[in-house]
Structures are given as structure tokens and as C-alpha cells.
Structure 1
Amino acid sequence: MLTNNLLSIKRRPWPVSILYLGAIAVLLTGWLPTLLGARIGEPLLDVLFLGSSAAMLVRYGARKGVLLAQEIGWAIYLIIGAVLAVLLRGVHPLDFAQAYKFVWYLVLLAPFAWSRAAMAPSDFNRLLNLSLFMFFTVYLIKRLLGDDRPVLMTENNFEIIFLALLYFSVYVSGIRPTAAQTFLLLGIVVLSGSRSAAVAVALVVAFSFDFKSRNAAKILGGTVAAVIGIALALVVFESRSEGGIETIDRFRFFLLFLESVKDWTLADYLLGADRLTPLPPYVCSQLAFYSVLFSYENTGSCYSVILHSFNLRIVYDHGLLISALMILYLLHLTRSASIAQRVCVIGIVLASGLSVSALNNVYTALGIGLFCMAASSRIQSNAVADN
């Protein structure tokens, strides 16, 4: 069974128990409020992410080095941004929080990399099994009931990124995902109808392929899964892109972004707009359909969140320099993994950032935290084997 031994009693470091048991609780119950129109899965995961990060920091402390210096740098950047935007320019605190949310997650991710209490590979695998079971079952039932964009807790653009990173974490921890797990993951993507999820899943399936294996069956199975993953990604794209590129809403957002920065100088591209600058009024007026994403000030103004793309948002609000520093930080944060594995994670962040909030949501942040712990688990397992 997919949930076999899920709640098996074993001694785990208490920070790991908080993360593991908390994730199980959210996966089992977070979908229920959606039946009544309430989506509390994301807030619950935010609490879990914050609690797990704090627990690991209290239990294991911070490690002196480049990562600590970078984390302090991000914390200072967050404080400076708050002073400039909220205190000096009078930006609504919630608008500021929306634009700087990814910085908060970057700060909280460091303890996952510092943690010396790596989660056991078997626990990663159990979490994946439960996640696949919950996602596939709920998505399938909602599809049969006529929902063409089913969700478990929030938008499937977000939550399948977490599922993809969890699948990849299982592989990184030392357990090769089974064919059943892979095909369930691919089935979930088809049921979701999400293009960004299709790209993320195609990446993790491809990067989980063992090119060094001498087992013909594994090579054939991995090749088939990778081909199917890429094919499904193309199918989802094609099904959601009828009428050409001009009909894709993200392409329209990109054109509006270009319109917003048409007068920018090189310094503007490097540093972003003044903290925190709304989009031009005529751009907001063209996006009136998304008024729910307008400023919390209720003045008819809107910020870059309305562009529905983390990549565009980070360039507009923070500039190319901060974008580059973010990627460097992620590479250092995941240094326990191989170069190929780190490239895969960065690829997922960039791909999801084309159409959704990428690092500006807890699903991606928590998935990266699990990936960091999986890489540490692999290193510890190899060290034990060597001894």
C-alpha cells in the first residue's frame, strides 16, 4: 500500500519529527477545507516551514561560513526594503510582504542546509507515497466531477512543484523512485492541466535517470519514463495553448512588463524599480479582470504580483543583481548535492517562475528544504558505508 508504515514508530531527531509528522498531517487534512471553498493548506505549510526552520536552528545552531554571511545579507536586505518601502514611502505592509516574501523564505532555508539531523531516506519515500496517493485520488475524483483544474490544497501550479521536488528528494536521498511512483506522478500532471507543473515534472524525471546503470531494464524503464514525461509536458502545453502564443495570458503579461520598463536605464535593470513602485496606471487598467491582485490600499494601483510570473516580478521589484544573487545563494544552499542535481533544482525554480510564484510560495521553499536534507542524508549514508 502507498501509505504502508507511514506512521511507523521510530526515533527521529525532534526537528525532523516536527517536519515529517507535520507534513503528514497537512497532506491528510489540508484538502478538506477546499470542499467548502476555504484554502488553508498554504498557511498551514507556512507554519510548518517556519516551525521546522526554527526547530533546526535551535537544535543544531548556525554554521559559520559563507552561507551564514549570505543569510545575514538577505535579512539586512529585507530590513532595508521595509524601511524604504513601508516607513519612507508609505507602501501598504501587505504589498511589501508580497513583494519580499521570497527573501523571507531564503532566510528560513539556511537551517535546513545546516541541519545535521538528516531525514531517513525511508521517510522521504513514505512522504512521497502519501503525497502521490492524496494528489492522484483527489485530482481524479475532482476531474470526474467536472473540475478541469483540480487542486489538493491550493492552485495546482504551486503544489505540484512541491510534489516534483519531493520526488527528486527521494532520488537524491539514495532511493530510486519506482515505475509506479513515476507513472503516478505523470498521471497527476495530466489530471492537473498545469503547464508549469508539466515542465517541473519532466525535469525531475529526466534528472532522476541513472545514466551509469548497467541494468538494461532500468535503462529502458528510465528512458520510457523520461520520454513519456516530456511528451506529456508537450501535450499539456498544446492543450492549453490553442490559438497561438498571442492567446497565452503569460505572453500578454510579458508584453505589459515590457511596456512598464520601456524607459528603464541599465541601472534600473540592475537594481529594479524604487522600493516599492506600482506598475503604470494604464497597465493596471488593462488587468482590471485581476482586481483581486490589486494593491491592498484599494486605490486602483497594482504591483508586479499581477504579472503572474516570479521571474518578471523579481526583475521589476529587485533587479537583475538580486536575481543573480538569489541563484548563487541557492547553489550554495544546495552544495551538498551534485552539480547536476543542483542544476535541476535551479531549473525548476526558473521554469516555475515563468508562470507562477516560484520561490515566493511555501510549496517551492519547503520542497527545496527537503532537497537540502535529502542531500545531507545521502552524504551521511555514504560516510557510514565507508566506515
Structure 2
Amino acid sequence: MYNRGRIIYFILMISFIWLYFIGLSSGTQLSNSRAGANTVFEIIIILATLVGFSQYNKSILPSLVCFSVIVFSYLVYESNNVNNYKTLDFVLIYKSVFYLFLFTLPTRASITKQQYKYIYYILLIMFLSKYMLSLFVFDVKRPWVYTENNFELMILLFSFAYMKSQNVNIKPIATIALFSIIILSGSRSAQGCLLFIIFMTFSSKSLSQTIFKYAVLLISIILVTFAFFDRLNGADLSTIDRVLFLNVFLTEMQTASLLEVFVGKPIITPLSIYSCDVLSYYAGHNTLCFSMVLHSYVLRTIYDHGILGLALILYLYFKHFKYLNYDTNFALTVLGIGILNGLSVSSFNSVYFALSIILLKLSAPQSIAIIKRRNS
């Protein structure tokens, strides 16, 4: 019988390296590389799910919940789509639910810790080389390999969290490389996520370790505060795009009923004309726009699915990480990274988040147990 995990491993390695060179050939033109990379990674996520799909078992219940939500929502959307909204808008709104559906499907495929470590090392080499070229040769202020670094750095951050959580022996130079990449990226959300990972994964068995752990937390708060005021550069708060998105979100929610606060607006509800006008630059100067224009996954999800919808998505992710035999601390670390990233960009809705959690699924303690049973 063919080794499903090995097939997925080679597909991932080839794709990462191939798309790296595509990005190099694109020079400073992000748009020339981003669409192709995103599409390839979407295909890999679906392919990895199909190749590894296992028979029905009790773990499929979360998948059925997600699938039912998607189907029911789409049927309601189609029956009420009198304004002929684009299906793509519906897909973007429910994309994170679709990724959750794929993540919770049972699998028989698995990759070893060693294989995951090789992927991590290769990614570190490619990211560090491309970021240094971008900054010091091409004079690109926000370097990238596949897409905007706020998104793609999640792959490295989740991988680092995994190595720390599973006690994988990684060379000190690899950790130095990761820290260098995060600093060179200029991504404040990535820097915050890295400090969060250190706080969550650092052992605190002794007093000195406990002091160090909370010192990291204090430094994180100071750095976030400094970054916030540095970004202001003496200007008004409203000039920050994320503050603008938050103000528009709060304006929209002022007219929401209590029910809508908890379960979200009716399926595929556009923002008001006023909000679309305020965010015209981000909405492509269209008078019709949807929650995607708010950028932040947290704001978008509360608007579309409510507080309960966001809570349910987080709960299902947490339960499935526990099902995969990850400990509670690691499950909370993953969700924390997702939420921190989701305060700024699309996070759980991003193909790079989905790719990261598929890697975590394939290399989970439960999945590695499959390899041991196969080889015994």
C-alpha cells in the first residue's frame, strides 16, 4: 500500500521550493506571484485532505457540523439572493468554515517529526534569503516570499510552536534565523505572535523561569504599545487603517439587534452605503461592499456569524486539536496565534492558516502513532 503521508510530504516540499523560485523571478512585483501561490496552496490543502481521507469515525462529527452550516447557509443565500450578489462573496464569508471542515475530516496520512523539521528548515532558508534580498538589494520595505508577510509568516510561527511543543531538537541557528526573519519582516502582528509563542511554550517549573516567562509578557505589552504609538507618528488615531476598520464595524453594529450581535447579520449582508463610502479605498471604490473590507477576521466573523459563531469556530478547532492528542497548552497557543493575527488580517480565513493547520494535523501525536503502527 502506498504511503499517503510521504506523497503529501513530497508535494509540499516541491511546491514550497518551486513557488519560492517563482517569487524570486517576480522581483518586486508581489501581484505577479501572489495569485499563483495562493491557488497552488488551496489545491494542496484539498489534495492533502482527499489523499489522506479515512473511513467514517466519531471524529467526523465536527466536519458534519461545518458541512451542514455551509450547505444550509448556501441554500438560504440562493433562495434570497434577489440582489444577485456574487457567489464569490459568499465563499469568502464562509471560507474559514470550509477550512475547518477540511481540518476535522478524519485522515490516515501522516508525516514524521523529522519530515516536518526538514520542511521547517527549508522554509527558514528560503524566507531568510528572500527577505534579505528584498530589503538590501531590491529595497522592498515589506519583504515577502509567497504573499504579504502578515499572512505567510503564520507557516513559520505555527511550525516553531510545534517544534517547541513536541520537543523537537532544532539547531540554535534555526531559532536565530526565525527571529531574524520576523524582525526583517516589519510585521508587528508576527512579532506579537512570536512573543506569545515564547510565553506559552516556555517552561515555568522554577521561580527564575516563571519570572522570565512573565518578563516576556511585559516586554510584549511594551513593544505592542510602542509599535502602536510609533505607527501614529504624531497623527490622529483615526488615521490608522485598523482603527478606521474598527470604527466602521462599531458603526455597523450600532444598528444590529441583540440577536444579530450573537448570531450575526442575515446571510451575506452588505455594509451600509456610508461604510462602503468611508472604506471606498479598500472596497475598490464600489458602493457595494461586504465584511471582507474590514480586513480583521475577528470583526468580519462577529459581523457575519456573531459572537456565538466565532466562539463555535474556536471551540471546534480546540476540540479537534485535543482529539489529535495535542495538549491543552498547544491548542490554546494555536488559537492565540490565530486570534492575534485575526485582529489585523484574515487569519482563519487565510490559505496560509489552513496550510499550517493541515501540517499540524498530519504531524499530530495521533497521526505519528499511525506511522508507528504501520512500521511495527
Range into which the TM-score falls when normalised by the shorter chain: 0.7 to 0.9
User: Quick check: 1:201–1:229 contact (8 Å CA) kept in 2?
Assistant: no
Taking structure 1 as the reference length, the TM-score comes to 0.84
2: CA distance, partners of 1:346 / 1:238: 27
1: CA distance, partners of 2:171 / 2:228: 26
Q: 1:181 to 1:223 in 2, by over 3 A?
A: farther
Which of 306, 323, 326 is matched with 1:337 structurally?
326
Give 1:211 deviation, angstroms. Answer: 3.5
Q: 1:153 to 1:276 in 2, by over 3 A?
A: same
* Corresponding residue SS for 2:56: coil
1: CA distance, partners of 2:102 / 2:219: 32
* Corresponding residue SS for 2:50: helix
1: CA distance, partners of 2:318 / 2:150: 24
1: CA distance, partners of 2:223 / 2:123: 20
1:209 matched to 2:205: no
What amino acid maps onto 1:152 in structure 2?
A: V
Where structure 1 has 5 or more consecutive residues not aligned to the other structure, the ranges are 1-11
2: CA distance, partners of 1:24 / 1:233: 34
Give 1:53 deviation, angstroms. Answer: 0.7
User: Quick check: 1:202–1:233 contact (8 Å CA) kept in 2?
Assistant: no
User: Quick check: 1:193–1:236 contact (8 Å CA) kept in 2?
Assistant: no
- Structure 1, 267-276 or 193-202: larger mean CA deviation: 193-202
What amino acid maps onto 1:257 in structure 2?
A: F
Q: Which residue is equivalent to 2:55? A: 61
* Corresponding residue SS for 1:91: coil
1:317 matched to 2:312: no
Which of 44, 49, 60 is matched with 1:48 structurally?
44
Give 1:233 deviation, angstroms. Answer: 6.3
Taking structure 2 as the reference length, the TM-score comes to 0.86
What amino acid maps onto 2:334 in structure 1?
A: V
Q: Which residue is equivalent to 1:189? A: 182
- Structure 1, 369-378 or 331-340: larger mean CA deviation: 369-378
Q: 1:375 to 1:304 in 2, by over 3 A?
A: same
2: CA distance, partners of 1:241 / 1:14: 53
Q: Which residue is equivalent to 2:112? A: 120
Which of 119, 127, 131 is matched with 1:139 structurally?
131
Superposed, which structure 2 residues align to 1:214-225 within 5 Å?
Answer: none
User: Quick check: 2:51–2:109 contact (8 Å CA) kept in 1?
Assistant: no
* Corresponding residue SS for 1:153: coil
The superposition leaves residues 285-344 of structure 1 with CA deviations (integer Å, 9 ceiling, x where unpaired) of 11111134x7xxxx6200010011000000111111111111110111100111111110
1: CA distance, partners of 2:75 / 2:358: 29
User: Quick check: 2:111–2:367 contact (8 Å CA) kept in 1?
Assistant: no
Which of 256, 259, 267 is matched with 1:267 structurally?
259
Q: Which residue is equivalent to 2:86? A: 92
What amino acid maps onto 1:199 in structure 2?
A: G
User: Quick check: 1:86–1:96 contact (8 Å CA) kept in 2?
Assistant: no
2: CA distance, partners of 1:262 / 1:61: 47
Which of 267, 281, 287 is matched with 1:300 structurally?
287
User: Quick check: 2:110–2:368 contact (8 Å CA) kept in 1?
Assistant: no
- Structure 1, 308-317 or 246-255: larger mean CA deviation: 246-255
Count, aligned residues: 359
Q: 1:182 to 1:234 in 2, by over 3 A?
A: farther
User: Quick check: 1:27–1:134 contact (8 Å CA) kept in 2?
Assistant: no
Q: Percent identity?
A: 26
Q: 1:54 to 1:228 in 2, by over 3 A?
A: farther
